[in-house]
Amino acid sequence: MNADNDYLSTLQHLWEKSLILHDTSLFNKTLYFYFLDSLAHIDYTCSIYAFNYQSPKNIIGGEYMRWRIDEEKKGDRAKFPAFIVWLKEKHPEKFAALPSLWQMVYDPEDPAGYRSFRIVLDPDSRQPIPPEVLIAIIEEFFDQDFLKSMYEDASLSTLFTTYLNGCKA
């Protein structure tokens, strides 16, 4: 591990974030799952760049990521990717306000995705994601307006409920 590694400072930037001003128990459960899931993908991506692939941190992260594959199939969580596409089509202003990682990963027209649990923006590139891009992505997830939108009675959560009700009709 190189002490000057920019990905270590990116990880520190993520780890220093706090949700102390929010009651996450009042967040929409599905949105909260995908919020934490995205943070885990960011952490794993930075960790792969910062530490040896076989470091305990990366092994532990990989174990969590394997567990979450089954978890995302449970209940309303399975509908989240289609919800993002629905937002893009029916509520483009709300889609545009989402964290860019959600816009990219869940938009089937965008090549970005999770590959081996890492965030990959361009599957044809072998270059790591620049640390400043990851820092910008982290900032989007901790934007106060975005966090407020995830409460059960808030805008993003209400749209998710509307989407779910439309799926059941």
pLDDT of amino acid 32: 98
In the predicted model, residues of the chain with pLDDT beneath 50 are 1-2
Residue 111: what are its φ and ψ, rounded to 5°?
-75, -10
Positive or negative, the CA dihedral 149, 72, 95, 115 is positive
| pLDDT at position 167 | 80
State pTM to two decimals: 0.94
Specify the pLDDT at position 168.
64
Domain boundaries, the chain: 6-14+26-168
